[in-house]
Amino acid sequence: MKAILLAAGLGTRLRPITDTIPKCLVPINGRPLLGWWFDLLEEHGITEVWINLHYLPEKVREFLGGESRKLQVHLIDEEQLLGSGGTLHANRGIFADAEQFYILYADNLTNANLTALRQFNQRHPSPLTVGLFRAENPSACGIASLDSSGTIISFEEKPENPKGDLASAGIFIARPKLFEYLRPEFYPYDFGGHVMPHLVGRMNGMPIEGYIRDIGTLESLERAEREWGEVRRVGSS
């Protein structure tokens, strides 16, 4: 099973922490975020992951050199920021022969059940299955509406007047047919803003059970630092 972990962002809202390290290496409970991701991927049977890098890529290489893992890690150097949709389009050949593959936003901290998402997509085949959660601040998220079958019937990225609080968690399971809907004419080309609205009625969604937090701001990082230890303790009991 393959995955792509989108990690090229600059992390400007996490300065001064990200003055010297990329966002994917921000420590939580004493360990870089990327390390927690690797644990989750291995737990759910993912054998290969591709990570796109742009800002301070040498720091990620240093981190990878100091850890041993079963997971095969491949790095993609992105000299120009392509945006999440642009990165997927540029690397579509990697996943062309995959029945399913994961798309994951690296700036989230989560213990989501990735296997359950994959199984949902197997039972309800579609180009994209979106992991969903209840957002505290819907205006900062991509907000979806579902019909009774789980099909996403509306999607709006960061709406001023949200229709609800069911939000994209930045955790997806996809099929190669997804690439038919990626048509970048400019960069950065955003997956949530430029691609997902065209998949309304063709993609489905599944609420995720478990912990999910975007650590994109200093405030959310502080909350994650406080919460993650308890999440791990409960999960291991």
Q: Quote the mean pLDDT of the chain.
A: 94
**pLDDT at residue 67, rounded to an integer:** 74
Model pLDDT for residues 121-130, shown as the tens digit of each residue: 999 999 999 9
Separation of alpha carbons 52 and 74, rounded Å = 9
What CATH architecture does domain 2-134+166-186+204-236 belong to? Alpha-Beta Complex (3.90)
> Which residue ranges make up each domain of the chain?
2-134+166-186+204-236
Give the pLDDT mean for 49-57.
97
Q: Is the pLDDT of residue 234 over 90?
A: no
Torsion sign over Cα 58, 84, 42, 233 = positive
**pLDDT at residue 163, rounded to an integer:** 86
192: left (phi over 0), alpha (psi -120 to 50) or beta: alpha
Give the pLDDT mean for 109-119.
97
Place of tokens 């997971």: 71
Give the pLDDT mean for 84-101.
97
Report which DSSP code applies to 151. Answer: B
Three-class SS of residue 43?
Answer: helix
Element housing 74 (H / E): strand 72-77
Joined together, the tokens standing for residue 10 give: 């600059």
Q: Helix axis angle, 33-43 relative to 57-65, nearest 10°?
A: 60
Q: Is the pLDDT of residue 212 over 70?
A: yes
DSSP string, 78-131: -SS--HHHHHHHHTGGGGTT-S-EEEEETTEEE---HHHHHHHHHHS--SEEEE
Model pLDDT for residues 128-178, shown as the tens digit of each residue: 999 999 998 999 899 999 999 999 999 999 999 998 999 999 999 999 999
Cβ proximity of 87 and 6 under 8 Å: yes
Joined together, the tokens standing for residue 156 give: 């709006």
pLDDT tier for residue 235 given thresholds of 50, 70 and 90 = low
Separation of alpha carbons 67 and 35, rounded Å = 9
**This model's pTM is above 0.85:** yes
Cβ proximity of 184 and 89 under 8 Å: yes
Percentage above 90 pLDDT, the chain: 89
Closest CA to 131 of 123, 140, 120, 122: 120
pLDDT tier for residue 236 given thresholds of 50, 70 and 90 = low
Give the pLDDT mean for 51-79.
92
